[in-house]
Amino acid sequence: MMHWTILLAAEAAEAAGEKGGLFDIDATMPLMAIQFLVLVVLLNLLFYKPLGKVLDDRSAYIRNNQADAQERLSKAENLAKQYEKDLTDTRRQAQAVVAEAEAEAQKIAAQQIAAAQAEAQAQREQAQQELDRQKQEAMQSLEQQVDSLSRQILDKLLGAAG
């Protein structure tokens, strides 16, 4: 279809008496080519190079930020691992301290219980000795009273008989 259009345009130009038609190469064609090249150079200098520089700068900025982010992420992961390790060690130490404190508390409690039992035993023995002494005194007192009553009874019986 395009070929026919070009041919028809060329025939119409020849029929009108124009010289060369669409493909006439005179001073206009090189002038248009020079204008095109100047436009390309100007666009390249004014728009594409600054735009390319901005895009390159932006890409470099993104790469730098991404590298920094990766480095920070790696540091954060290392810190997290270190903190987890420290936390685990601290928990172990805390458990050891608690176990040691419990053992010490049990030891102290056992010592206090033993001391209390010894003191209770000593007090019980002392109370038993006191009871034995009081019993002995009561027995002596009763013996004296029994002797005294026995003499009185004997005196009354002998006095009444004699």
Contact assessment for residue 6 and residue 21, using Cβ atoms and an 8 Å cutoff: no
Which position has the token pair 């997290």?
80
Query: Per-residue pLDDT tens for 146-160?
Result: 888 888 888 888 877
Query: What is the pLDDT confidence band of residue 84, given thresholds at 50, 70 and 90?
Result: very high
Dihedral over Cα of 18, 20, 25, 26: its sign: negative
Q: Is the pTM of this model over 0.75?
A: no
Kindly report the number of other CB atoms within 10 A of residue 89's CB atom. 10
For position 94, what pLDDT does the model report?
A: 95
Query: Per-residue pLDDT tens for 44-53?
Result: 888 888 888 8
For position 25, what pLDDT does the model report?
A: 61
Model confidence at 11: pLDDT above 80: no
Query: What is the pLDDT confidence band of residue 15, given thresholds at 50, 70 and 90?
Result: low
Q: In angstroms, rounded to a whole number, what is the distance separating the alpha carbons of residues 104 and 111?
A: 10
DSSP string for residues in 58-83? HHHHHHHHHHHHHHHHHHHHHHHHHH
Query: What is the pLDDT confidence band of residue 43, given thresholds at 50, 70 and 90?
Result: confident
For position 92, what pLDDT does the model report?
A: 95
Mean per-residue pLDDT, 94-117: 94
Query: Per-residue pLDDT tens for 108-157?
Result: 999 999 999 999 999 999 999 999 999 999 999 988 988 888 888 888 88
Q: In angstroms, rounded to a whole number, what is the distance separating the alpha carbons of residues 90 and 82?
A: 12
Query: Per-residue pLDDT tens for 17-38?
Result: 555 555 556 667 778 889 999 9
